Amino acid sequence: MDVIEEVEAILGYGDTCNHCLGRFFGRRSFGLTNEERGRALRIAHEITANEPHQEPAPESCWICGGELSRTDAWAARVVEAMQGIEFETFLIGTRVPPLMAESEEMVWSDLSLRDPEPLKAEMNREVGKAVSELSGKVADLQKPDVVAILDLANETVEIQVNPVFFAGRYLKYERGIPQTHWDCRACRGAGCERCNFTGKQYADSVEELIGRPVIEAFDAEGAVLHGAGREDIDARMLGSGRPFVMEVETPRKRSVDLAALEAEINRSAEGRVAVHLTGWADRKMVQSLKSDKAHKKYRILVEIDGPVTSDEFRTALDQLKGVTIRQRTPTRVSHRRADRVRERQVIDIQCTGTQDDRYWVEVVGEAGLYIKELVSGDGGRTRPSLAQILGRTASVVSLDVVQVRTTNEQR
Ligand SMILES: [Zn+2]
Ligand SMILES: [Zn+2]
């Protein structure tokens, strides 16, 4: 079949608007809209058949019902739905009713058409052009700030606001604060007497202490903290802090001054948590942060049961230096983690002083090394351990993370 014969066959299915007619040949010839393509093919067909010209009524189109002639109205709906949302870039998506898609696909396969374009693609492009003109914003297929979904069947527009990410480091000065919020163990987040109907096991988390001013500043629906690892609840995070990326969910504002935000977080977290914000980030940075095997430096206070001389203590520490430790999942976390053996290296360990018969120790460990068990031995589940080498009971009285060095910083 040549093109004119194909047009003849297509028109045989029913009234077809110029958009839909042109779209069956959408990938042939450049610099034309499908409507222009459709009109030209219709006229060429009419001249070939020597028939009078008939301009079709778009709403009687058997495929789109005139939807492709209403792109300006759709664009106006999109702009209205985006009112009050700050964005620079956008993307249009279309939910096409199954019957519409099946109609055009039937013709593609009946006539073995080689160059058709789907309805969805034309709708996205044409409404996108119109939204650009109305709003002065640009379409971005890769990383749009907002996505507008046209629901053709329901005649509605759904707006999805993509998250904003920023990076920084946090410090935790107070023990007893988890990194992220935990659901109440009794009610699993539903709210009960135990948790004072908050649904939370702990009143605050690092995530919430940072997140509250963030949600306010971005007029957002939520803020998720992605940390480079996490410290125990009872450990402080000191030194230069722990790298994190914060994901701001559904932000209605995006142009936030990070320096002012940092000051506001530090003011509202009242010395319990502090941040230094380093700049804007993206989802890729979250992934590299999560997969990063950061070395951690800890400052711990160790208590030994029974008398040990300072020399004995230091000699025992030396036997752990550079050694790979085999650790079965610690008893204290075995209720939520699978029982496995992990091997992690003690990169450095040394005694830095004493306090009331206790020892200050600094340990640099590979990511994932369990420090409390390195000292206590966890009933033989961690080997070797300080307790095992000394032949005495040993325990960590307090623990602070003083440095988190990411892979980039280790190079
Ligand atoms: Zn149509
Ligand atoms: Zn509860």
Q: What is the pLDDT of residues 335-351, one digit of tens each?
A: 888 899 999 999 999 99
Question: Which of the ligands is closest to the CA of residue 103?
Answer: 1
Q: Could you say which DSSP state residue 354 is in?
A: E
pLDDT per residue as tens digits for the range 138-148: 999 999 999 99
The closest alpha carbon to 209, from 234, 180, 169, 185, belongs to 180
Mean pLDDT of 94-120: 95
Residue 257: per-residue pLDDT: 97
Distance 195 CA to ligand 2 centre (A): 4
Q: At what angle do helices 3-11 and 34-49 cross, to 10 degrees?
A: 100
Report the percentage of the chain scoring pLDDT > 90: 85
pLDDT over 50 (residue 160): yes
Q: What is the pLDDT of residues 6-38, one digit of tens each?
A: 999 999 999 999 999 999 999 988 899 999 999
Half-sphere exposure of 129 (CA within 13 A, CB side): 8
pLDDT at 334: 84
Note the ligand closest to the C-alpha atom of 192.
2
The Å distance, Cα 126 to ligand 1 centre, comes to: 14
Asked if the model's pLDDT at residue 410 lies above 60, the reply is: no
Ligand lying closest to the C-alpha of residue 61: 1
Residue 91 confidence class, pLDDT cut points 50, 70, 90: very high
Q: Which of 140, 232, 282, 348 is catalytic?
A: 232
Confidence category of residue 409, pLDDT binned at 50, 70, 90: low
Residues around the ion ligand 1 (C-beta < 5 A): 17, 20, 61, 63-64
pLDDT given for residue 203 in this prediction = 87
CA 274 to ligand 2 center in whole angstroms: 28
pLDDT tens for residues 189-219?
999 999 989 999 888 999 999 999 999 999 9
Whole-number percent of the chain with pLDDT over 70:
99
Q: What is the pLDDT of residue 29?
A: 87
Return the residue matching tokens 């075995």: 334
Give the pLDDT confidence score for residue 411 in this predicted structure: 46
pLDDT score recorded for residue 407: 67
pLDDT of residue 408: 62
Gap from CA of 181 to ligand 2 centroid (Å): 13
> What is the H or E stretch that residue 400 is in?
strand 394-405
Strand-pair category, 236-249 with 164-172: antiparallel
Mean pLDDT of the chain: 94
CA 232 to ligand 2 center in whole angstroms:
22
Question: Is 378 marked active-site?
Answer: no
In this structure, which ligand is nearest to the CA of 65?
A: 1
Ligand 2 centre from 180 Cα, in Å?
A: 17
pLDDT of residue 254: 96
Q: Is the confidence at residue 116, as pLDDT, over 90?
A: yes
Residue 267 pLDDT level (bands cut at 50, 70, 90): very high
